[in-house]
A and B are shown apart, each in its own frame.
Chain A
């Protein structure tokens, strides 16, 4: 249908406006994640040693894909095992700790299988690892989930045949603000003390005990200048180096 303008002539055909496509991936910008084992520890070692170690780590990452993961993700790791039936061993678990620097970097996976808690410490750069799949992406409130050993077993059980939960690349990794309920005391460590700085436990202890635990707090630690280790500039340099090498 054509409208008749004030002049009395039919209006010229106006094509509909072009749709504006917003590419959310490009809008958010590339997420920079540098695996923590690339950052060299503070010390008097020659930086040449870290450079050579990084070359080896990048070489391994080119051949074998190590996905981005944090503490709190649920991973499935398949390793070559000479004693297994199929010579392949698959373990599913939640990552409770990432330790070590350089080629010796490790991560600990925890799961409860048939009412028995099992923790396996894997080395990231071990050549026997065939595949690492991220099944569920979620960060937790803490960097170290060792308290799951003293929590109720339901918080550490994960189905061995779990399907991977889909996650889009550009979305932020969700933080699970779950407060975990614990078994009755005694625990393996006194998690209520401020030195562990745990935010992910629902402490059902009386107020008196929580106040008594604050006696061990060391409020001067955050102002100690000798303990400061500013890794931002080192991270920038290493991130540039690593991303350039991996793109080749």
Chain B
């Protein structure tokens, strides 16, 4: 995570996400997937092919791509279908867009009820016998049972969670890095899924994105760094107020 300053002098914290060897693996039609839209299978970071069975490697062989560590599905409209085997780059997103980032949260292991669910526990003194971090009562007398889904101690973390509506401040096309506002679930160097935001407030913010995606061998030659309009770039002189 890094600080970033706007032209008005405000500081924001920013997470760096690296797009490492992303390829489109397969196209799944609407009938095959059984949903409302067709889907595209996309794979991230390269990994060793020796630790998976032959049947699992079939998808990668068809696309002509090394084995990927993580494979995710994206629901796409029919006009945004991409041929399997095309690489995806960070320039797919542009500064000023809003994204949702999904990832597995940091695993905390078996945790008690205070850390896992935020219960208040009991006082430290004034006669409490061996009861300082316990849940207390778990149900009423009339119910005569404990309801399903009662908040109790258990394994915490290592589940998929999403941060919605994160602004993209900057894109580095040379190293394929996306600078995303705020924090993102997961530990450092973990694998993450970045999608266009589903929030209704940001429906109109994605003006003219590269559609269906940014092709590296196309005609468009982008500069090494793409900045949002409000970012303070370090080549400018210091900020002053009139």
Contact across chains for B3 and A48 when beta carbons are under 8 A apart: no
Across the interface, do A63 and B236 meet the contact criterion of CB distance under 8 Å?
yes
Residues of A within 8 A of B9 (CB): 80, 82, 126-128
Interface pick from A49-57, A217-225, A237-245: A49-57
The answer to whether the Cβ of A228 comes within 8 Å of any Cβ in the partner chain is: no
B177 lies within 8 A of A56 (CB): no
Write out the residue numbers on chain A whose beta carbons fall within 8 Å of the beta carbon of B239: 80, 127-128
Q: Is the CB of A130 within 8 A of B238?
A: yes
The answer to whether the Cβ of A81 comes within 8 Å of any Cβ in the partner chain is: yes
* B residues 221-240 touching A (CB-CB < 8 Å): 232, 234-240
Chain B nearest CB, measured from A91 CB (Å): 16
Chain B contact residues: over half helix, strand or loop, or mixed?
loop
Q: A interface, by DSSP: helix, strand, loop or mixed?
A: mixed
Tally of B interface residues using CB under 8 Å: 22
A59 at the interface (CB under 8 A from B): yes
B234 touches which one: A44, A63, A128, A130 (CB < 8 A)? A63
> For A44, what are the chain B residues with a Cβ–Cβ distance below 8 Å?
188-189
Does A136 count as interface, using CB distance less than 8 angstroms? Answer: no
| B5 CB-CB contact with A under 8 Å | yes
Closest CB pairs A-B (n = 6) = A59-B234, A60-B234, A127-B239, A82-B241, A87-B241, A128-B9
Contact partners of B232 in chain A: CB under 8 A:
127
Please give, as numbers and ranges, the residues of chain A lying within 8 Å of B236 by CB-CB distance.
Answer: 63, 127
Chain B residues within 8 Å of A59, by CB: 234-235
| CB within 8 Å of A: which B86-135 residues | none
Q: Is the CB of A103 within 8 A of B2?
A: yes
Contacts A53-B2, A104-B3, A126-B11; is A48 near B175 (CB within 8 Å)? Answer: yes
With contacts A46-B18, A126-B5, A128-B9 known, is A80 near B175, CB below 8 A? no
